[in-house]
Structure 1
Amino acid sequence: MSNDVGQLPEGWTLARVAEVAVTDSAELLPLDRPVFIDARPGDKEEVPVSLIIQVGGLCLARDARDGEYLMGQIDDSGAVSCWASYGDDLAEALRAL
């Protein structure tokens, strides 16, 4: 995997992400990690992303097309498998973790 990671929104640090998510740590993941969302039951759609944040056992991935934060987790293949969008506000998405 590459070292290319996205940039947090202005004013955000990993420490602030962890604080809002009420967890010990947060990590930026490389953007070459595949991200999928369940479009329909049994049908996954690959999503282009501009940011992937791992917070505990969950991940938030920012959809590069519309800025929405998708929530999911890393599956057995190493991809981020997302189940829903939590809007374009990082703080609100983190509070939903």
Structure 2
Amino acid sequence: MASWGTLTGEANYMLSSLMHSNEPAKSLGAFNVRGYANPEMDKLIEDAAAAMDADERRTLLEKANNLVATDRPDLPLAIQLSAWAVKKGKVELTGRADEDTLAMNIKPVK
């Protein structure tokens, strides 16, 4: 079993590493160890990476994620959620999308 998080909070971080055909010359698909290859997916990922317009980029990434759901190159067995524990009324902490816990994000309740 394996899992993948995203350091950037954006889908292209995962898609370009796991869902793009393995193309070392382009630094794409480095973790696509199961050999999934779909030219439509590759184009969506590359077009999203080149898109300067945020709405266009979002649309391309949504299409790529929908293609993942249709093709099912991986079998999702579990979803791991991050958990943090703090003393109620004493400490405030908002979890980060990248799952990092940074001391500067932990604040005493006033």
**TM-score scaled to structure 2, two decimals?**
0.21
Higher relative strand content: 1
Question: Which structure has the higher relative contact order (CA within 8 Å, separation 6+)?
Answer: 1
Higher relative helix content: 2
